[in-house]
Structure 1
């Protein structure tokens, strides 16, 4: 079984106190250690990054609603190209790519790069909570597993536990992948939301571990 690390939205707007949607207690140092461990041991890192245009429907400033009438009225955040959109310092491997949120693009060359270890980190841009909102994420994972020739096991960390981390872990588990949540490398918004998210993830078969256990 091949282990893959999954970095969920470790971006400055979420993980630093000056960020537009800061998640209190974001464990940046622990996440840096996990990335460094992955690079040292040639563990591929897949991840997600929130990527918005200036007028995203999620923003209160846009005056727009989502495709199903959603209107979360979030402050402007993770606008692509702004400082808040950037990954937290120390959480990018030396060689990485961002995968745009588009319906169709060739993935075979990227699969080969990841298998060879040329590309150490691959980050899927998305506009809503789930990693799988990017239409290239699921076919990439299927192609990667077929190319490697053995099952994939995913180790998930990032923010926020009750939103995008929950969505990523459930999405992986629901697709039949062995999924482990690093409990000291996540942070959530509300205590109630985190409790519900943990209940859902455990019911879906997500395992719990610590960064020390993962690194050892």
Structure 2
């Protein structure tokens, strides 16, 4: 039995100064790094996700409702899509990129990026990201669930941004996939005023909190 930490969307656009900033995002980035320094030996694997939008359709809007549509953010290959500099990547084993062509909140919608892909998202010359950006042929795609199962992971701990969207979606999908799931509340940052409702929904769905 293995245990994994899933770090959700700790990216520049979701931290202070970004196009869709979440209050406390940068502090969470630093806190996750400190947590990993102290607790990395408690995890067999560490995975991180990135919103990695190419053309996500109605997910982007000039007049967003901040529920189903949002300002442009985490465009593939841009600085906004890079992991926040305060997030130490030393212990991260794999990166999963999600939302290339549609909205994607859960880490379980992400695809494994190639080992030589840089987590800071440098775009190759010539325009749109290609296979090296985790958007290769479908038959080569590896999802998070497949990756976790291949490493015999049974329990996951979820941290990151945002508590009431991508963290929640990831945690609930992990429960549905059969994992034991814990969210470390102090290592998340949320967007809305209904964070307690999001926490209650996760608890009702079988998620534990630490």
Please report the TM-score for the alignment, with normalisation by the length of structure 1.
0.71
1:144 alignment partner in structure 2: 151
Contact between 2:158 and 2:184, CA under 8 Å: does it hold in 1?
A: yes
SS of residue matched to 2:105: coil
SS of residue matched to 1:20: coil
Q: Equivalents in 2 of 1:7, 1:91: separation in Å?
A: 10
1:76 alignment partner in structure 2: 72
Contact between 1:3 and 1:153, CA under 8 Å: does it hold in 2?
A: yes
Structure 2 spans left out of the alignment, 5+ residues: 112-142
1:130 alignment partner in structure 2: 106
SS of residue matched to 2:34: helix
Measured on the aligned residues, the alpha-carbon RMSD in Å equals 2.2
User: How far did 1:41 drift?
Assistant: 6.0
User: How far did 1:75 drift?
Assistant: 1.3
Q: Equivalents in 2 of 1:72, 1:41: separation in Å?
A: 36
User: How far did 1:10 drift?
Assistant: 0.5
Offset from partner CA, 1:120-174 (integer Å, 9 cap, x none): 42111001101111362222222221xxxxx521111001011000011001111
Change in Cα spacing, 1:37 to 1:123, as seen in structure 2 (3 Å) is farther
Contact between 1:39 and 1:93, CA under 8 Å: does it hold in 2?
A: no
SS of residue matched to 1:60: coil
1:86 equivalent in alignment to 2:82: yes
User: How far did 1:76 drift?
Assistant: 1.2
2:10 alignment partner in structure 1: 10
Q: Equivalents in 2 of 1:39, 1:77: separation in Å?
A: 30
1:50 alignment partner in structure 2: 51
Offset from partner CA, 1:89-130 (integer Å, 9 cap, x none): 1424237xxxxxxxxxxxxxxxxxxxxxxxx42111001101
Q: Equivalents in 1 of 2:41, 2:207: separation in Å?
A: 26
Q: Equivalents in 2 of 1:90, 1:121: separation in Å?
A: 17
Q: Equivalents in 2 of 1:155, 1:43: separation in Å?
A: 11
Q: Equivalents in 1 of 2:40, 2:85: separation in Å?
A: 15
SS of residue matched to 2:202: helix
Q: For 2:158, which of 156, 169, 178 is the aligned residue?
A: 156
Please report the TM-score for the alignment, with normalisation by the length of structure 2.
0.72
Change in Cα spacing, 1:32 to 1:94, as seen in structure 2 (3 Å) is closer
Structure with the bigger percentage of helix? 1
Structure 1 spans left out of the alignment, 5+ residues: 64-70, 96-119, 146-150, 210-216
User: How far did 1:42 drift?
Assistant: 6.2
